[in-house]
Structure 1
Amino acid sequence: MTDFEVIYSDYFSDVYKYALSLCHNETLAEEITQETFFKALKGIDNFKGQCKMRVWLCQIAKNIYFSICQKNKDTRDKSQEDKIECIEQKLINKETVWEIHKKLHFLDEPYKEVFTLRVFGELPFLQIAELFGKTESWARVTFHRAKIKIKEGLD
C-alpha cells in the first residue's frame, strides 16, 4: 500500500462523518469526502504537519462544503432546516429563526463559524477546537459569547 492509501483508509470514515455532520445528506457527504481526498492527494506536498492529518482533511472538507453552498444555496438538506427549529433545546418560531440567521450573518469570525459548527453541524467542542487549533475551553467560551451576541441582538 502507498502512503496515501494508508491515509485514505485511516481517515475516510472520520472525514465522511464530518462531511455528513455539515450537510446531513449522505450522497453529498460522499461527494465531499471524495473531493477532499482528491484535493489532499494533489496538495499532500503542502501538508507540513502544523496540525493533525485529521484536522487538515476536515478543513479541506469544510472548505469544499462551504464552496458548494456558495454555488448552490439549495444544497442544504431539509433535515438540516428542521434542526434550525431547535436552539439549545428551546423551540422557536420561523420568525425567530430568520432573526437568528440575520444576526448570525453579521457576527464576526470566529463566533459565526463556531456557532454554526456547534448548532448546525452538531460537532462536539473538542472537534471544533481541533479545527481552529485551539483548546476545548476556547471553543466553549467562543460558542457562549456567540450565543450572547445573538441573544442581545434579538432582545
Structure 2
Amino acid sequence: MTSSDNLPLNELEKELLDPNSECYLENLLDVVSALVSDCDFPSAKNSKSVQSFLKKYSQAAKIIESRRTKYNDFELIKVIGQGGFGRVELARHKRTRRVYAIKLMSKQHLLDHSQSGYWEERDVMVKASSEWLVACHYAFLVSSNYML
C-alpha cells in the first residue's frame, strides 16, 4: 500500500481532529449523544427506524457519555450571572481543580425560540483563537439544559 492509498484516511483524520471542521470528533460525539437522547421518547419510539437506531446506538451513546467530561465533574463555586436564557456559574473541575465559567441554557427555551443562537455561540467559542473571545472547553447536554 502506498502513501497515496492512505490519503483519504489522512484527510479524514485531519478533519476529525480540527476544531474548525464540521467533522470534528467532539461534534460527532455530541451528535450521537443528542440523537439518541432526542429519539428516546415514547412518541419517537413508534417508528421502526427509530427503534432500530436506538437498538444499534444506545450502548455507544452510554459509553460516550460515561467517558466524556460532564457537568457532575464540576463543583459549583457560585452563580455569577442570571438572564432570560439561563445562568452562568463559576465552577471548579473536581479532578484538575481548574476554574471555569459554565453557561446553562434551558433546552426547552431554546427549542421554543430556535436553537440556532446556541449552536452559533458554541461554534464561535470552540473555534475562537483570540484572547478577546471566551473559548469553549466543554459542551454538555443534559435532560433540561445545554451547557457551555
TM-score range, shorter chain: 0.3 to 0.5
Structure showing greater relative contact order (alpha-carbon pairs closer than 8 Å, 6 or more residues apart):
1
In the superposition, the TM-score normalised over structure 1's length comes to 0.32
Larger radius of gyration: 2
Larger proportion of helix: 1
